[in-house]
Chain A
Amino acid sequence: MSKLVAFAAIQGGYKVVSTAEGAFTKALASYNADTKIGFPNTAYYLPVIYSLTGMKVETLEDLKKPLEFARGLLPPHVKGKNHLPYLGPLLDAGMAAIFSYEIIEALRILETPDFYIAQEDPDLEAGKKWVGPADDVILRKRGVEFVDGSAPGFAAIVGAAPTPEIAKMIVEDYQKRNLYIFCAANHNGTSVIDQLLEQDVQVGWNTRIVPFGPDISSAVFALGFANRAAMAFGGVQPGDYKTILKYNKERIFAFVNALGDIGTEWGTAAAGCVNWGFPTLADTDIPEILPTGICTYEHVVANVAHDEIVQRSVEVRGLKVTVSEIDIPLSFGPAYEGERVRGADLHVQCGGGKTQCTELVKMAEMNEVEDGKVEVIGPDVTDLKEGDTFPLGIFVQIAGREFQSDFEPIMERQIHHLVNYIQGIMHIGQRDISWVRVSKSAMEKGFTLKDIGVVLHAKFHQDFQKIVDKVQVTLYTKKADVDKITKTARAEYKTRDERVDKMTDEDVELFYSCTLCQSFAPNHVCSVSPERTGLCGAYNWMDCKASYEINPTGPNQPIEKGECIDPVLGQWKGVNEFVYKASRGAVPHYNFYSMVVDPMTTCGCCECIAAMLPSCNGVMTVGRDYSGETPSGMKFTTLAGVMGGGAQSPGFVGHSKYNITQGKFITGDGGLLRMVWMPKMLKEELKDRIDKRGAEMGCPGLYDMIADETVGITEEEILPFLQEKGHPALTMDPLVG
């Protein structure tokens, strides 16, 4: 039966390549050959073509080479009898089609620039349903979830289910398993996305249901996302197609669900995906390809019942996912984290400037608390009317033989995403500035405040079983109680902050490693010290310590600093030895406090990247959510491309936002006083801390001396500003030499 698949896919390959060639010829007739072409805000050109062939498509005429390459891949048609082998040809035809689909999409964006809406969620009111290729900001933000396992993989769904209800069932099942759902193509004019919208399901990157595009060609965006992950996080070089595809087979747990009749164009796309090790499961009766090899297990599985397709898919891909079964009337999982509760959908809310909403986790003695006790003191949401507000205090008490008060803030920070994981509930902020919005649909399903307690109890036990023995949750909704708990909480926060803020690298003998992302960046190893939080912004020293205590063989291991080799640059013998081993020999040593001399490596998931600006005698830093140009001459994504994947790149360093104002931030190079440029958004976010740290360093006006994009985006543009403001960097020792 494989022969029929081969026959159809090879035919499809010819068809798709010809279509792309036609579109290219047509485009050449209306545009100049040197017209710029490409996907928005990416450093990876047309990412599938770039990653697999190294060809950089920047202008219309650059499409010629990959098109010729695709044409060259097309094998002879399969003969009816005594045919020649077809597996290799079939995969080549599929790849030719994938290249062509990417070209077709690039031409679509050239001709209809606003066809896709380049943001995370569609704008349905403006009629913009399709988000198109994810830009590098989304890639890096979402990539971290793939890296740390909070998104175990993605399901690429093409076509449409027989009914909207079935579509919803399948997609929600994937959401529950934390997978991303990448949607493209239509079946008789309907797509899964249409079906979901009809059922009032929120779609967009935030709910992990990504409406890529209406045609099968849009499915190529999923592959472009996967290949960029290999380059950005895996450090694989563009053009090294063998490694890129092997990376995908081994590390990106993706697969295709084909819903609806499969024509040659879908067939050839499916064949293309097999090159990645991504199998196809279909709900129609197509020939199966069951032997293993190119994919880890089966290649094409047919006739899968809709209520089994999710389970079968993860099995065929060889993926283990755990579903958190929590006893609440709503669905629960990371897929709902990004879900919004918008005005029209809002039932009641607390916090957000309207009322007080406070969260506090405190350690308790074993005999003080009762495990699993969840108490709501005061009126519940069911007692409120639509549009009401109410105050809320979430007080969690944890007892455990291994529990330490140092773990309190770590547990407390979980509340944000755990509450957000509840379908129909939105949580913003933390501590005493939290904000919880409850949707009408959540109320319809029977949500009560108790469910928050149930979730926290269950998840704390699940995720932290090593340190948690008992969890008791109290939810206060009377103003007096909330005010009282808020007062206690504020005192608690103050003590904690002082303790953490005052902690220095010299105070501790142990640093912690973080190799959480080694599944994606095998050569990279982070070291986290009290004054240098993890570059992804997600893990500080205390988190790592707790993580180690919770899971002693996990990704966070203690590193004995050992003998100090260089106190200024921040280099220790013990750290070097650890890094050498953990990076599998790739990195012999690095410095904690310098970006000029042997800086720390990055996996590609850093929040910010600092770069030297030699003519300003200073440095700049840029966060990953700023997509504009910077004085270094590179956008964030280009910078990340230069230094991701565990490579050491002197003159550049990846770091977290928080780290900018920590005591040891590039002190080997002069510290924060070197900072001459930051994006406005980032600068404003850190204003208070910059003011504070600047004052500590003897430069209280530092904030106003740091240029941003409103001043300029080249060194020449910002230098006069720095001179006018008398920026301290200008009079410091030369940065290099």
Chain B
Amino acid sequence: MTEEKAKKPAKAPKLADPVASSIDVATQQLIARAQELGIDTVWDRAENMKPCAIGMQGTCCKNCSMGPCRLPLPKGGIEGEDTRKGLCGATANTIAARNFIRMVAGGAAAHSDHGRCVAEVFRSVARKENHDYKIKDTIKLKAVAEALNVAITVEVDGEVVDRDIDEIALETAEVAYGEWGKPEGEIIYLKRAPEALYEKWKKAGVLPRNIDREIVEIMHRTHMGVDQDYKNLMKQGARASLADGWGGSMLATDLQDILFGTPYPVQSEANLGIMKEDHVNIIVHGHEPILSEMIIAASQDPEILDYAKSKGAKGIQLGGICCTANEMLQRHGVPVAGTFLQQELAIITGACDAMVVDIQCIFQNLANVAKCFHTKLITTHPIARMEQNNVLHIEFDEHHAMDDAVRIVKMAIDNFENRGAEVMIPQQKATQVAGFGVESILYHLGGTFRGTYYTLNDNIINGRIRGIAGVVGCNNARTRHNESHITIVKELIKNDVIVLTTGCNGIACAMEGLLTPEAGAVYCGPGLAEVCETVGIPPVLHLGSCVDNSRILLAATEVVKAGGLGKDICDLPAAGSAPEWMSEKAISIGQYFVTSGVYTVFGYTFPTAGAPVFEDYLFNEMEKLYGGMWDFEADPIKHAHKMIAHIDAKRKALGIDKARERVLMDMADRQALEA
């Protein structure tokens, strides 16, 4: 089978080495399978197209048509004055900073626009204009209402009583929706952060006013001839990143939880082996649960199941790719088919009867791969379509969500009989326990009566747990698939650092078996293993999709509030990492972690290498402003140890670097207890 792309290289394209491409056997098998079938995948393309060296350094400016101006950093660096400048005189620092915060803008826009779609659905539900979606979690609704300063009680005849839940929902929806474009004030959720951190932001002048405005302002400030001071540019980058983390992303997570339920631990599976030859396989790929929730409901409908059986299938197997996978996993236990990089491979199995996609991280090449099989590739989102003519577009209208979902599922069922003979589903799949969140962690740290993050803090203080790492982010075809993810996470847990994960790192860990409680005894240091055993948790806790990185912010805040580990997120023995990042969203996430006080290390490459002064600002100077800073380390072991060194430094600063003494209380000690 040959590819029908317009442009063909003169000589035969190079093929990727499957084993060198991924640490995952299923992936290796399917890369080989694709090559056998003459279908190119992202790994093959990576062999044939090298990244632009100047773009990689972040010093190519194409913001006006006098350029692109390219300011590469000479191999040996620059001794003395850096005289590089563009036609307008923009320095390498200005160009790199502009490019960097445009990435923040791109990422923040993606998360926040996702959030906006959820807010729109939530508002339509609150207004009772929508009957397919419902408010599933009223406890979360009340918590979110309170965080948005919406009253949850009312006074009736001098007595305080619970406010009508519909009223709460309506006002919450209006207030939440207002966060994107309100003309005055600041993002309400900022006050959820530890007080010291909020004050830091205020002092630095980076409190975002609303979500959209900060993104727009980045586009303005990076326009030709506007902001030409990298520090001032980064100030806006920091502000927009907060609008993402503590705004758009956090609202997306919260409103999704209200509509679809707050996740609680579930058992499931991961990797392409979850697809079943005798089932209708529907792969849902993208990011918004708005779509996937309905697909799940439709595929569980007995009538639809009967319909599937009538077409010769034993049932319907749903599987997720990328963050849609994480959304379906954490709320329903739907198994995960694969990471971002495995999206083409799901079709190459030959058993994918429909791949349904919405937004973000979707390869346009899926259409080319689908063309080689019977697979229906269905785009659903009005802002995300594809030019290829084999792609179906069924626009998902939230007011007719169930009808649309049923139509999509039926289309997949109808397509079951069109499968060719070339089905090759790999055997590999791993068990996982996922679905952790701020609420469920609280519960599992002490039950209904004693649930508190202090249990975690106590074990950090006593040294059983050395620290907390957030390891998140994408895959990148320029690195061996999952290798850095897994190496870093294993190194961390080996050193008693508990790992919180989201996104494709979460999926990678699941595929490796790290999301099982049994992994504690196998991979962890003795302290972390003991805590995992006591609580019954895996050493790596999967907190959801990439917008759910907001859960990590809130979890960190809860840890601060529980006491004993300082007053601010930057005091915690904690660090962040994105080992195999590729998207602009990763930069936005990284920046909001840094702005929230987290030491954040990226792997593979860092897009400011061509502007050492600016990079130093990100890697060192930023800590003085926010308590957190960036770092880069491609080597996964060194990467993990940079994080551990930071954690150890924080432990020392907290005075918990030594073994804790057992304090025996006498009566005088007890009398001195605070009320």
Q: Which residues of A contact B (CB under 8 A)?
A: 1-3, 6, 52, 73, 78-79, 81-92, 95, 148-149, 152, 241-242, 245, 250-251, 253, 274-275, 289-294, 297, 299, 314-315, 318-322, 515-516, 518-519, 522-523, 555, 584
Residues in A neighbouring B667, C-beta threshold 8 A: 148-149, 152, 519
Report the separation of the CA atoms of residues A42 and B7 in the bound assembly, to the nearest whole angstrom. Answer: 89
Q: Per-residue CB proximity of B220-252 to A under 8 Å, as 1/0? A: 000000000000000000000000000000000
B47: min CB distance to chain A, Å: 38
Classify chain B: how many residues form its interface, as a range: 35 or more
Structural contact, B433 and A2, CB atoms closer than 8 A: no
Q: Which has the most chain B C-beta neighbours within 10 Å: A84, A518, A584?
A: A84
Taking A318-B665, A320-B664 as given, write out 4 further A-B residue pairs in contact, using a Cβ cutoff of 8 Å, ordered by the A residue number.
A85-B444, A85-B517, A95-B447, A519-B673
Q: A673 to B400, alpha carbons, bound, how many Å?
A: 82
Contact (Cβ within 8 A) A555 B675: no
Binding-face segment, B351-359, B456-464, B628-636? B456-464
Q: Are B534 and A87 in contact (CB under 8 A)?
A: yes
Q: How far is the CB of A177 from chain B (nearest CB, A)?
A: 12
Q: In the complex, are the beta carbons of B445 and A87 less than 8 A apart?
A: yes
Residue picked from A2, A78, A79, A315, most chain B C-beta under 10 Å? A2
Rounded to whole angstroms, the CA-CA distance of A275 and B451 in the bound complex is: 10
Taken residue by residue from 252 to 267, chain B's Cβ proximity to chain A (1 for < 8 Å, 0 otherwise) reads as 0000000000000111
Whether the pair A292, B665 counts as a contact (CB closer than 8 A) is: no
Cβ of B662: which chain A residues have Cβ within 8 Å of it? 297, 315, 318
Contact (A275, B450) CB under 8 Å given A82-B516, A82-B518 = yes
Task: Please name the residue on chain A nearest to B451 by beta carbon.
Answer: A88
A84 touches B267 (CB 8 A): yes
Task: Write the nearest CB–CB distance from B659 to chain A, whole angstroms.
Answer: 13
Set of chain A residues within 8 Å of B448, measured between Cβ atoms: 73, 88, 91-92, 95
CB 8 Å contact bits of B419-457 with A (1 = contact, 0 = none): 000000000000101000000000111111111001110
The one of A1, A84, A293 that contacts B459, using a Cβ cutoff of 8 Å: A293
Q: Is A88 a contact partner of B443 (Cβ separation < 8 A)? A: yes
Smallest CB-CB separation from B671: which chain A residue?
A519
Known: A82-B517, A320-B669, A555-B671. A289 touches B449 (CB 8 A): no
Give the nearest-CB partner of B517 in chain A: A83
B673 lies within 8 A of A86 (CB):
no
Q: Tell me if A84 and B531 are in contact (CB < 8 A).
A: no
A85 to B537, CA, bound (A): 5
Q: Is B113 an interface residue (CB 8 A)?
A: no
- In the complex, whether B20 has a CB less than 8 A from a CB of chain A is no
Do A519 and B670 form a contact, CB below 8 Å, given A82-B433, A293-B445, A584-B675?
Answer: yes
With a cutoff of 8 Å between Cβ atoms, the chain A residues found around residue B66 in the complex are none
**A92, B669: Cβ atoms closer than 8 Å:** no
**CA–CA, A704 and B343, complex, Å:** 96
Q: In whole Å, how far is A213's beta carbon from the nearest beta carbon of chain B?
A: 24
B445 touches A515 (CB 8 A): no
B412 CB, min distance to chain A CBs, angstroms: 29
Tell me if B178 is interfacial: C-beta within 8 Å of chain A: no
B37 at the interface (CB under 8 A from A): no
Q: How far is the CA of A88 from the CA of B445 in the complex (A)?
A: 6
A1 touches B533 (CB 8 A): yes
Once A291-B459, A294-B450, A322-B666 are accepted as A-B contacts, the answer to whether A84 and B536 lie under 8 Å apart by CB is yes
From residue 630 to 675 of chain B, which have CB atoms closer than 8 A to chain A?
662-667, 669-671, 673-675
Q: Does B395 contact A (CB under 8 A)?
A: no
Indicate whether B530 reaches chain A with its CB closer than 8 angstroms: yes
How far apart are the CA atoms of A477 and B537 in the complex, in Å?
72
Instruction: Report the minimum CB–CB distance from A281 to chain B (whole Å).
Output: 15
- Chain B residues, CB < 8 A from A522: 673-675
Q: Tell me which residues across on chain B come within 8 A of A87, comparing CB atoms.
A: 444-447, 534-536
What chain A residues lie within 8 Å of B443 (beta carbons)? Answer: 88
- The answer, among B431, B449, B455, B669, for a CB contact under 8 Å with A293, is B455
The CA-CA distance from A686 to B221 in the complex, in Å, is: 88
Nearest-Cβ distance from residue A504 to partner chain B, whole angstroms: 31
Whether B458 pairs with A293 at a CB distance below 8 angstroms is yes
In the complex, chain B residues 367-422 whose Cβ is within 8 Å of any chain A Cβ: none
**Cβ contacts B598-613/A at 8 Å (1 or 0 each):** 0000000000000000
Who on chain A is nearest to B672 by CB? A519
B670-A78 in contact (CB<8A): no
Chain A, Cβ-Cβ closest to B516: A82
Minimal beta-carbon separation of A8 from chain B (angstroms): 14
Which residue of the partner chain, among B536, B663, B674, contacts A2 with CB atoms under 8 Å? B536
Q: Which residues of A contact B459 (CB under 8 A)?
A: 291-293
- Least Cβ–Cβ distance between B514 and chain A, in angstroms: 13
Please judge, given known A-B contacts A84-B536, A87-B536, A88-B446, whether A293 and B454 are in contact too, CB under 8 Å. Answer: yes
Most B Cβ at <10 Å: residue of A73, A294, A318: A294
Q: How far is the CA of A315 from the CA of B667 in the complex (A)?
A: 15
Q: State A2–B537 Cα separation when bound (angstroms).
A: 11
Closest residue of chain A to B515 (Cβ to Cβ) is A82
B450 and A245 contacting across the interface, CB-CB below 8 Å: yes
Nearest to B541 among chain A residues (CB) is A85
Q: Which residues of A contact B450 (CB under 8 A)?
A: 91, 245, 274-275, 294
A515 & B671 in contact (Cβ 8 Å cutoff)? yes
Known: A78-B536, A85-B536, A291-B530. A275 touches B671 (CB 8 A): no
Closest 8 CB pairs of A and B: A149-B667, A91-B447, A293-B455, A522-B675, A320-B664, A86-B536, A88-B447, A519-B670
User: Of B447, B516, B535, B669, which is in contact with the most chain A CB atoms at under 10 Å from its CB?
Assistant: B447
Distance in Å from the Cβ of A588 to the closest Cβ of chain B? 16
CB distance from A503 to the nearest CB of B (A): 28
> Known contacts being A82-B516, A251-B670, A293-B455, is A320 close to B665, with CB within 8 Å?
yes
15 residue pairs bridging A and B, Cβ less than 8 Å apart:
A1-B533, A52-B449, A83-B517, A85-B517, A85-B537, A88-B444, A88-B448, A91-B446, A149-B667, A241-B449, A242-B449, A274-B450, A289-B534, A291-B530, A555-B671
Q: Which of B433, B454, B458, B675 contacts A84 (CB 8 A)?
A: B433
Q: A466: shortest Cβ distance to chain B, in Å?
A: 15
A275, B447: Cβ atoms closer than 8 Å: yes
Q: Assess A85 versus B535: contact at CB under 8 Å? Given A242-B449, A319-B664.
A: yes
**What B residues does A320 contact at CB under 8 A?**
664-666, 669
CB distance from B487 to the nearest CB of A (A): 24
Within 582-608 of B, Cβ neighbours of A (below 8 Å) are at none
* CA of A152 to CA of B662, assembled, Å: 18
CB <8 Å contact, A294 and B455: yes
Question: Is A84 a contact of B671 with CB atoms below 8 Å?
Answer: no
Which residue on chain A has the smallest CB distance to residue B448? Answer: A92
* Pair A90/B447 contact, Cβ less than 8 Å: yes
B431 to chain A, nearest CB (A): 5
Docked Cα-Cα span, A92 to B450, in Å, equals: 9
Q: Which B residues, 518 to 570, have Cβ-Cβ distances below 8 Å to chain A? A: 518, 530-531, 533-537
Are B530 and A6 interface neighbours, CB within 8 A?
no
Counting chain A CB atoms within 10 Å of each CB, the highest count among B450, B533, B665 belongs to: B450
Shortest beta-carbon distance from B541 to chain A in Å: 9
Inside 8 A of A290's CB, which chain B residues have their CB?
Answer: 530, 534
Per the bound structure, the CA–CA distance linking A649 and B345 in Å amounts to 74
Question: Within 8 Å CB of B670, what residues of A?
Answer: 149, 250-251, 519
A residues in contact with B444, CB < 8 Å: 85, 87-88
> Considering the chains assembled together, what is the distance between the CA atoms of A523 and B673 in angstroms?
12
Nearest chain A CB to B643 CB, angstrom units: 23
Q: In the complex, A523→B531 CA distance in Å?
A: 37
Question: Chain B residues near A293 (CB, 8 Å)?
Answer: 445-446, 454-456, 458-459
Known pairs A1-B533, A95-B447, A245-B449; A318 contacts B664 (CB<8 A): yes
- Residues in chain A near residue B266, CB distance under 8 A: 84
Complex CA distance for A63 and B518, rounded to whole angstroms: 41
- Could you tell me the distance between the alpha carbons of A87 and B448 in the complex, rounded to whole angstroms? 11
List residues of chain A with CB within 8 A of the CB of B666. 149, 152, 320-322
Q: How far is the CA of A79 from the CA of B673 in the complex (A)?
A: 41
Partner of A518, one of B464, B518, B671: B671
Do A85 and B265 touch (CB < 8 A)?
Answer: yes
